[in-house]
């Protein structure tokens, strides 16, 4: 019992004893000595009872009070330590930032210098390639068959042949980023039909590299028409092919041409080849049959070919097209979703449908407006997709400064003119046996400009 409580109890017992004396004297008519004796007896009785209760009461209250006092002291000390640790953490972080700031600035300056040097070297390589081509032109002309002399004309007539895009001999950032000029469409249809009839629709491979090492992980096959004067890009003949209903034929030729290339890459231990498939191909029965035929009973081809459809094509698949894709997925074929504009993706549904790659333009990923309305921020999209075995590929990477931003977003695969432009491949000779072919013959050899 605390001291104030003991004093209160003693005062109460004294008052009670006084009341007993008054009641004994006036109530019972006892004399004063008898009344005092009665009061004293009552006081002794109350004291004995109080002592008995005090000894019988548990002593835990005092221990609880001691524990409460100790806990209060510990909490006070912990709060003091937390305040000191917060102060030390802020001071150490500020010191670390101040110490590393000059180093970060120097690294950024060195990165700018390296980028400038790379562009200068690329420009010089392009100039050297142009000089070599100009020097080799007379020699090449000497081996061409001479045509019959033509009568002199008063003035040379303007050429009506459309412009074509020449295959670059060396990587040129300027040429890679430039947009080819428009091609007249008056004879593109005839040239397209001739190319389809003679099998001159060829795949050009653009690398898909891993970051940050920039090693080639996969390739994407892009359709090109090979002509004596150069190469016609798909952007020039695809609208005409769509108008004539020949998109399915182009996809069929591309898939058949990419099959041996994919096998050669697999023999070298390289990755897969992405082959684009248009929605028009999946819409018709002939296109679906041509798409499914190469994979029948060829499990090795299913591992090395990735069929690529746009996000819009995935969104408007019919029942028969969806059934075909499900059947191909059962055979081990993987799919890639290209041209993604709407980042509101369901990775669980993509994984269920066999989509293992999602391609988003780097500009779209880094656009602050892309996060508006999406369930997840684009910076977390790669991590979310990887949980469901889907890899994010950043496309159209054209500047060096984009790479660090993609690495901050945990993007591990990238594609664009910065890492390589589409280049042709020379197929293996048809009479070459795979077992007797030397190791060097499996290399993908870029074809020179104008080569047959």
pLDDT by residue (tens digit) across 381-402?
999 999 999 999 999 999 999 9
Give the separation between CA 312 and CA 322, rounded to whole angstroms.
Answer: 14
Look at residues 214, 294, 296, 196 and name the one whose alpha carbon lies nearest to residue 250. Answer: 196
pLDDT band (50, 70, 90) for residue 407 = very high
Which residues, including other chains, have CB under 8 Å from residue 204's CB and lie 6 or more apart?
167, 221, 222, 223, 224, 231, 422, 423, 424, 425
Is position 444 within any domain? no
Top pLDDT among 66 and 391 is at 391
Strand partners, 202: 224
Q: CA angle 237-240-241, nearest 5°? A: 80
Query: Residue 126, Cβ neighbours under 10 Å: how many?
Result: 18
pLDDT at site 450 = 35
> Is residue 204 pLDDT above 70, yes or no?
yes
pLDDT tens string 288-334: 998 888 888 888 888 899 999 999 999 888 899 999 999 999 999 99
What is the overall mean pLDDT for the chain?
A: 78
Top pLDDT among 168 and 374 is at 374
pTM over 0.85: no
Is position 16 within any domain? yes
Among 42, 57, 72, residue at a domain's last position: 57
pLDDT at site 177 = 34
Is position 394 within any domain? yes
Statement to judge: residues 274 and 420 lie in one domain: yes
Is position 117 within any domain? no
Sign of the CA dihedral running 137, 143, 144, 146: positive
Give the separation between CA 270 and CA 218, rounded to whole angstroms.
Answer: 7
pLDDT at site 277 = 92
pLDDT tens string 4-41: 878 888 888 888 988 988 888 888 888 888 888 888 88
Average pLDDT over residues 221-240: 85
Domain of residue 358 covers 188-430
Range with lowest mean pLDDT among 67-81, 141-155, 405-419: 141-155
Is position 452 within any domain? no
Answer for the pair 304, 255: CB distance below 8 angstroms, yes or no. no
Is position 64 within any domain? no
Is position 142 within any domain? no
Q: Supply the CATH number for residue 229's domain.
A: 3.20.20.450
> Is residue 443 pLDDT above 50, yes or no?
no
Which of 58-72, 179-193, 339-353 shows the highest mean pLDDT?
339-353
Give the separation between CA 323 and CA 288, rounded to whole angstroms.
Answer: 10
Top pLDDT among 325 and 50 is at 325
Is position 261 within any domain? yes
Q: In the chain, how many domains are there?
A: 2
């Amino acid at each position: 019992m605390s001291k104030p409580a003991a004093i209160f109890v003693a005062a109460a017992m004294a008052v009670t004893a006084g009341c007993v004396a008054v009641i004994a004297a006036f109530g019972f008519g006892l004399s004063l000595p008898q009344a005092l004796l009665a009061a004293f007896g009552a006081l002794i009785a109350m004291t004995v009872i109080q002592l008995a209760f005090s000894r019988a009461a548990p002593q835990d209250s005092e221990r609880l009070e001691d524990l409460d006092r100790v806990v209060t002291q510990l909490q006070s000390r912990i709060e003091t330590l937390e305040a000191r640790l917060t102060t030390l953490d802020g001071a150490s972080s500020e010191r670390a930032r101040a110490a590393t700031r000059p180093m970060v600035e120097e690294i950024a300056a060195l990165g700018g210098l390296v980028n400038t040097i790379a562009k200068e070297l690329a420009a010089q390589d392009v100039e050297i390639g142009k000089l070599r081509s100009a020097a080799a032109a007379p020699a090449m002309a000497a081996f061409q068959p001479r045509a019959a002399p033509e009568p002199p004309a008063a003035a040379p007539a303007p050429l009506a042949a459309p412009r074509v895009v020449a295959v670059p001999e060396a990587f040129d950032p300027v040429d890679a980023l430039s947009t080819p000029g428009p091609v007249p469409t008056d004879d593109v249809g005839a040239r397209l039909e001739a190319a389809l009839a003679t099998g001159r629709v060829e795949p050009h491979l653009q690398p898909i590299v891993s970051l940050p090492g920039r090693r080639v992980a996969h390739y994407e096959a892009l359709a090109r028409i090979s002509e004596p004067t150069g190469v016609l890009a798909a952007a020039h003949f695809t609208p005409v092919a769509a108008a004539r209903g020949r998109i399915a034929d182009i996809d069929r030729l591309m898939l058949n041409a990419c099959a041996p290339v994919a096998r050669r890459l697999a023999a070298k231990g390289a990755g897969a080849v992405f082959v684009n498939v248009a929605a028009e191909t999946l819409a018709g029965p002939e296109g679906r049959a041509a798409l499914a035929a190469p994979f029948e009973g060829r499990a090795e081809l299913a591992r090395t070919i990735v069929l690529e459809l746009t996000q819009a094509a995935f969104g408007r698949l019919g029942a028969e097209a969806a059934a075909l894709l499900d059947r191909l997925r059962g055979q081990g074929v993987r799919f890639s979703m290209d041209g993604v504009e709407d980042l509101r993706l369901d990775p669980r549904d993509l994984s269920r449908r066999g989509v293992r790659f999602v391609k988003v333009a780097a500009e779209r990923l880094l656009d602050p407006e892309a996060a508006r309305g999406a369930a997840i921020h684009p910076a977390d999209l790669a991590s979310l997709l990887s949980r469901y075995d889907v890899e994010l590929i950043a496309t159209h990477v054209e500047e060096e400064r984009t790479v660090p931003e993609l690495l901050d977003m945990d993007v591990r695969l990238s594609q664009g003119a910065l890492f390589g432009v589409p280049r042709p491949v020379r197929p293996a000779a048809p009479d070459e046996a795979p077992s007797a072919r030397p190791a060097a013959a499996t290399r993908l050899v870029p074809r020179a400009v104008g080569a047959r």
